[in-house]
């Protein structure tokens, strides 16, 4: 179990990162920024967030071919390597490479293998009992399929990490709060019940990838173990947390996982250029607190987040809570603007509260109510709820 932080027994929290991850760059016209993890590392270092008992930076190793073949095919890995070397054939194009959202860039395969290796490093630290929490901000590539790149994702590190944990005999709950549906992870475990996937995301009616509806509940032995909570445009903190408390909290309690894998995409934040929710990072902070309250080890990854400064600040707050550095209120108020290298907000790591107007509140609340009831109807009976 992952104990609550205390002076006598701090949480053992590993931040998985290395300088090599900062050498790779998606093309400048691509919205995805691989540089976010390096900015986060520098921010946390400057704030002293790796000091004190129980917190450390763990260096990952690239995932080797054998590890990647646990989910991906040899043919696909060969295509990724060839694309990295500038060879992009018809087969690679059919696998989703060379598109706007999965561009070819220098070091593509090397970066993807290292980012996946970081999530596998996190999984090993938890499986071996060395860490209560392990956070890989360079992970969260939840759209990748065994033979297809999609949505900025080439290698599905979260599937690989979950497979590592199940291979070590762990029962895993994968909770994805990225604004996009975790379609690749859902597909990987759709027929299994040793991994429950729970995805909170903007509805596929208004956002890529157009999937993740309440009726997608799993198949065969996995029926009832795929949970989708599609959210309406404009979803705000209070409504989001109401849905989370009504659905995720009882399901986590019923499933009783050994490990919680948590994808912390920050693209649900208000102002993200690729999505339409209206969250503040306070909602993510509350989600993390609820996850930690179950007393289970947590493997956390990054994910989306296309307003870089907001994403880095949100992940810094996430690390503060995951590692036990934030004991209650805000952390280092007044330092946020300096540490984030931006003048947008100087109030610390936590965002300002955003109050919805009455029209937004009414529309969102009605849609959230319908979603809660629909998910309960589709899923709860499978778990005696």
Q: How deeply is 310 buried, as exposed, middle or buried, from its count of CB atoms within 10 A (0-12, 13-18, 19+)?
A: buried
Report whether pLDDT(342) > 50. no
Rounded Cα gap, residues 354 and 268, in angstroms: 13
Residues 248/175, Cβ–Cβ less than 8 Å: yes
b/e map 198-234, b = 16+ CB within 10 Å: bbbbbbbeebbeebbbbebbbeeebebbbbbbbbbbb
Report whether pLDDT(363) > 70. yes
Q: How many helices (H) and strands (E) does the chain have?
A: 13, 8
Strand partners, 135: 15, 300
Supply the DSSP symbol for 279: B
Rounded Cα gap, residues 221 and 380, in angstroms: 15
Q: Give residue 59's pLDDT.
A: 98
- Per-residue pLDDT tens for 220-269? 999 999 999 999 999 999 999 999 999 999 999 999 999 999 999 999 99
For 40, the token pair is 């986060």
Region 64-76 average pLDDT: 98
- Per-residue pLDDT tens for 149-174? 999 999 999 999 999 999 999 999 99
Greatest alpha-carbon pair distance for the chain in Å reads 59
Under 8 Å CB-to-CB from 319, ≥6 apart: which residues? 13, 15, 40, 44, 49, 135, 325
Q: What percent of the chain lies above the pLDDT cut of 90?
A: 90
Q: Give residue 52's pLDDT.
A: 82
- Per-residue pLDDT tens for 193-202? 999 999 999 9
Catalytic residue among 143, 164, 180, 201: 143
- The three-state secondary structure class of 107 is coil
The candidate with the shortest Cα–Cα distance to 150, out of 205, 101, 210, is: 101
Q: What is the pTM of this model?
A: 0.94
Q: In what order do the strands lie in the sheet with 13-16?
A: 55-58, 13-16, 133-136, 298-301, 259-263, 172-176, 195-202, 226-231
Region 9-23 average pLDDT: 95
The dihedral of CA 292, 338, 31, 34: what is its sign? negative
Q: Give residue 330's pLDDT.
A: 42
For 111, the token pair is 């970066």
Rounded Cα gap, residues 181 and 151, in angstroms: 11
Q: Grade residue 8 by pLDDT with cuts at 50, 70 and 90.
A: low
- Per-residue pLDDT tens for 258-303? 999 999 999 999 999 999 999 999 999 999 999 999 999 999 999 9
Q: Give residue 343's pLDDT.
A: 33
The candidate with the shortest Cα–Cα distance to 261, out of 83, 112, 142, is: 142
Report whether pLDDT(333) > 70. no
- The three-state secondary structure class of 269 is strand
53: phi then psi, degrees, rounded to nearest 5: -65, 140
Residues 246/196, Cβ–Cβ less than 8 Å: no
Residues 219/193, Cβ–Cβ less than 8 Å: no
Q: Give residue 327's pLDDT.
A: 55
276 annotated active-site: no
CATH 3.40.800.20, applies to 13-383: yes
Region 54-74 average pLDDT: 98
Bridge pairing between strands 133-136 and 195-202: unpaired
Can you give the residue ranges of every domain in the chain?
A: 13-383
Q: What percent of the chain lies above the pLDDT cut of 70?
A: 92
Length of the chain (residues): 385
The candidate with the shortest Cα–Cα distance to 311, out of 157, 154, 138, 181, is: 138
Q: Give residue 142's pLDDT.
A: 98
**Bond before 209 cis per omega within 30 degrees:** yes
Report whether pLDDT(332) > 70. no
Q: Grade residue 336 by pLDDT with cuts at 50, 70 and 90.
A: very low
Region 134-143 average pLDDT: 98
Residues 380/246, Cβ–Cβ less than 8 Å: no
Q: Give residue 278's pLDDT.
A: 98
């Amino acid at each position: 179990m992952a104990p609550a932080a205390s002076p006598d027994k701090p949480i053992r929290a590993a931040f998985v990162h290395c300088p090599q991850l900062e050498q790779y760059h998606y093309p400048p016209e691509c919205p995805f920024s691989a540089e976010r993890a390096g900015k986060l590392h520098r921010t946390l270092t400057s704030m002293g967030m790796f000091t004190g008992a129980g917190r450390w930076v763990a260096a990952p190793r690239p995932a080797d071919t054998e590890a990647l073949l646990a989910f991906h095919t040899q043919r696909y890995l060969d295509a990724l390597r060839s694309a990295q070397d500038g060879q992009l054939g018809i087969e690679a194009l059919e696998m989703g490479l060379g598109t706007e959202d999965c561009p070819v860039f220098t070091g593509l395969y090397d970066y993807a293998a290292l980012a996946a290796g970081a999530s596998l490093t996190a999984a090993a630290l938890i499986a071996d009992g060395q860490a209560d929490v392990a956070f890989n901000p360079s992970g969260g590539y939840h759209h990748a399929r065994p033979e297809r790149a999609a949505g900025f994702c080439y290698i599905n590190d979260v599937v690989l990490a979950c497979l590592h944990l199940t291979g070590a005999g762990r029962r895993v709950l994968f909770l994805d709060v990225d604004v996009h549906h975790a379609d690749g992870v859902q597909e990987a475990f759709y027929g299994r019940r040793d991994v429950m996937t729970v995805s909170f995301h903007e509805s596929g009616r208004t956002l890529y990838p157009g999937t993740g509806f309440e009726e997608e509940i799993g198949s065969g032995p996995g029926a009832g173990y795929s949970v989708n909570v599609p959210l309406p445009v404009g979803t705000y903190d209070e409504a989001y947390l109401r849905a989370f408390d009504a659905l995720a909290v009882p399901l986590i309690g019923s499933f009783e996982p050994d490990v919680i894998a948590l994808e912390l995409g920050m693209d649900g934040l208000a102002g993200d250029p690729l999505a339409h929710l209206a969250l503040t990072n306070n909602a993510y902070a509350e989600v993390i607190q609820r996850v930690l309250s179950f007393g289970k080890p947590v493997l956390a990854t990054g994910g989306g987040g296309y307003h870089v400064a907001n994403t880095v600040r949100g992940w810094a707050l996430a690390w503060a809570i995951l590692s036990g550095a934030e004991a209650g209120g805000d952390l280092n108020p007044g330092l946020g603007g300096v540490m984030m290298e931006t003048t947008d907000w100087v109030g610390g790591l936590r965002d300002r509260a955003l109050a919805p107007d009455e029209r937004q509140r009414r529309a969102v609340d009605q849609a959230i109510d319908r979603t809660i009831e629909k998910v309960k109807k589709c899923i709860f009976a499978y778990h005696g709820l």
